[in-house]
Amino acid sequence: MTSHSIQRFWQKPWNEKLTTAEFLFRKNLAKLPYVPVPVNLEVSRGESVRFWWSYFVGFYDNDRAFFDYWGQDRGDLRFLWNVLRPGDTFLDVGAFHGVYSVIAGKRVTNRGRVIAFEPSPRDRRRLALHLGWNGIRWARVEPFAVSSAASETSFFQVVSGDPTRNGLKPPASDDSVAKIRVKAITLDQYVADIGIERVDVMKLDVEGGELEVLRGAAGMFEKFRPILICEVLDQTTMVWGYKAREIISLLAGAGYLWFECAADGTLISHEIREEYPEVRNYVAVPQEKWPVQAER
């Protein structure tokens, strides 16, 4: 801080000083590569889930406590917690660092199953660390990319920029990437090989490759009819040559209803649109499982 900014800081009221200090403290902690952080996520009124994370996120919101969950997908995670039950099976396709896998693992307990797919070796290590720190030994971490066909293929790992943009195609950004080789699989073949007998909920976020994943999981969706939490975003799908609304249309044609998650985790009916410019997830529920909260 410059002498002028320090002077302005000391001229602020005490409540503003505390807010500024907390903001600066968090921004500096966010620069540390690994630091154990206890994170609190309120999943319903009067009920919270505490889990360990390996870094502070620079995001700051004056309306949240210091250790409250930072993400904009709190509603999605609340829905996930409330829809899962002990003993369920959860698939996390494009797990990245694993916040969905951690929440799901705590919810399904050791009676259930969590399978997290993350082809990036760098991010898979962080994912495994988070599962280990939280004692979720019943989770399985797989190094595969998931697509519509089994193959050896290129994977583009962001090395400078936004690492959440890793994918089977270069991101629609100026981020610097490293091309590595990975094995791609289909979910239909995977569930057959492993002998999975149920899939209750699945999260899908693969930077535009969502339609390919769903095409390679047609049999699994027909057999198990899982609830799906899925990113639907034109910016990523256009790299693959299609509009994001095709994801919605595909499952709508298979008897799925689409919803948006409210901040409290409840579902709001979604009407298909021509464009999907916002970075967010949507929820697809088989018609026969709706209303999902009442049945589960």
The CATH number assigned to the domain holding 260 equals: 3.40.50.150
Total residues found in the chain within this entry? 296
Residues 238-262 have a mean pLDDT of 98
CA distances (Å), 107 to each of 26, 85, 87, 191, in order?
29, 6, 9, 22
Among 16-20, 260-264, 276-280, which stretch is predicted with the lowest mean pLDDT? 16-20
Which range, of 10-14, 63-67, 167-171, averages the lowest pLDDT? 10-14
Edge-to-edge strand ranges of the sheet holding 281-286:
139-142, 113-117, 89-93, 201-204, 227-231, 281-286, 256-261, 267-269
Residue found under tokens 């495994």: 128
Number of structural domains in the chain: 2
- What was the pLDDT predicted at 135? 98
Which domain range does residue 134 map to?
72-295
Q: Where are the beta strands (DSSP E) in the chain?
A: 37-44, 47-53, 89-93, 113-117, 139-142, 145-146, 151-160, 176-185, 201-204, 227-231, 256-261, 267-269, 281-286
Instruction: Tell me, yes or no, whether 16 and 91 share the same domain.
Output: no
Residues 134 and 10 reside in one and the same domain: no
DSSP string, 120-189: -HHHHHHHHHHHHHTT-TTEEEE--EE-SS-EEEEEEEEEES-GGG-BSS--SSS-EEEEEEEEEE-HHH
pLDDT(8) > 90: no
Cα(212)–Cα(221) distance, rounded to whole angstroms?
14
Residue 264 carries which DSSP code?
A: T
Please check whether residues 9 and 25 belong to one and the same domain.
yes
In one letter, which amino acid is 76?
Answer: D
More confident site: 16 or 10: 16
- Specify whether 64 is located in the same domain as 192: no
My answer on whether 76 and 65 are in the same domain is no
Shared domain for 186 and 131, answered yes or no, is yes
Average pLDDT for 159-175:
90
Instruction: Report residue 294's pLDDT band, with 50, 70 and 90 as the boundaries.
Output: very low
- For 271, the 3-state DSSP assignment is coil
Residue 92 forms beta bridges with which residues? 116, 203
pLDDT value at 220 more than 90: yes
Whether the Cβ atoms of residue 155 and residue 185 lie closer than 8 Å to each other: no
Whether residues 83 and 50 share a domain: the answer is no
Tokens of 276: 């999907």
Domain boundary among 69, 99, 119: 69
Domain identity same for 1 and 17: yes
- The whole-chain average pLDDT of the chain stands at 91
Tokens 């502070």 correspond to 56
Asked if residue 81 and residue 56 are part of one domain, the reply reads: no
Do 273 and 238 fall within a single domain? yes
* Angular region, 211: left φ>0, alpha ψ -120 to 50, beta rest: alpha
Residue-level pLDDT at 133? 97
Q: What is the CA radius of gyration of the chain?
A: 20
The pLDDT of residue 94 is 98
The single-letter DSSP state of residue 33 is: S
CA distances from 10 to 2, 101, 173, 181, 184 (A): 13, 44, 40, 54, 56
For residue 291, cis peptide bond before it (omega within 30 degrees of 0): yes
Could you say which of 69, 92, 115 is where a domain stops? 69
The last residue of one of the domains, among 69, 91, 119, is: 69
Find, among 101, 100, 117, 216, the residue nearest to 166 by Cα. Answer: 117
129 and 12 assigned to the same domain: no
Interhelix angle for 3-10 vs 14-29, to 10°? 130
Pair (140, 21) in one structural domain: no
